[in-house]
Amino acid sequence: AQSVTQLDSQVPVFEEAPVELRCNYSSSVSVYLFWYVQYPNQGLQLLLKYLSGSTLVKGINGFEAEFNKSQTSFHLRKPSVHISDTAEYFCAVSEREESNFGNEKLTFGTGTRLTIIP
């Protein structure tokens, strides 16, 4: 069964500084990987996803993530954060199985709360 670990529950960062939010996963098969963002008092929305191909994935709002199969990681990065990036970020994984296509379950990490310090 798949699992996701986000070790950092909270990350404070100064405005315009770079940030990295860590995500590690566990699975016995190939996976799809996602980052979702939750702004205050809202539902989650997709930030970016890795399906296959290039290991560097670019998403919305200047975020990018790199898939590292050997380290089973999918860390999220942004070179310069803004106040508007204050949110909770969730890493998620689903397993790639042809037999389960269309019915894959997403497993979410526990989330990382990003706080931007002016």
Partner 1 sequence: NAGVTQTPKFQVLKTGQSMTLQCAQDMNHEYMSWYRQDPGMGLRLIHYSVGAGITDQGEVPNGYNVSRSTTEDFPLRLLSAAPSQTSVYFCASSNQRFGTANSPLHFGNGTRLTVT
Residues that bind partner 1 in the complex, under the rule CB under 8 A:
6, 9, 32, 34, 36, 41-46, 49, 51, 90, 94, 96, 101-106, 108-111
**Quick one: how far is CA 108 from the chain centroid?**
9
Question: Minimum distance between the CB of residue 20 and partner 1, rounded to whole angstroms?
Answer: 19
Q: Which is nearer to partner 1, 111 or 114 (CB)?
A: 111
Nearer to partner 1, 32 or 64 (CB): 32
Shortest spacing between CB 46 and partner 1, in angstroms: 4
CB of 118 to partner 1, least distance (A): 26
Q: Which helix (H) or strand (E) holds 34?
A: strand 31-38
> For residues 90 and 77, what is the distance between their CA atoms, to the nearest angstrom?
13
Q: How many CB atoms are closer than 10 A to CB 32?
A: 16
Nearer to partner 1, 80 or 115 (CB): 115
103 burial via Cβ count (<10 Å: 0-12, 13-18, 19+)? exposed
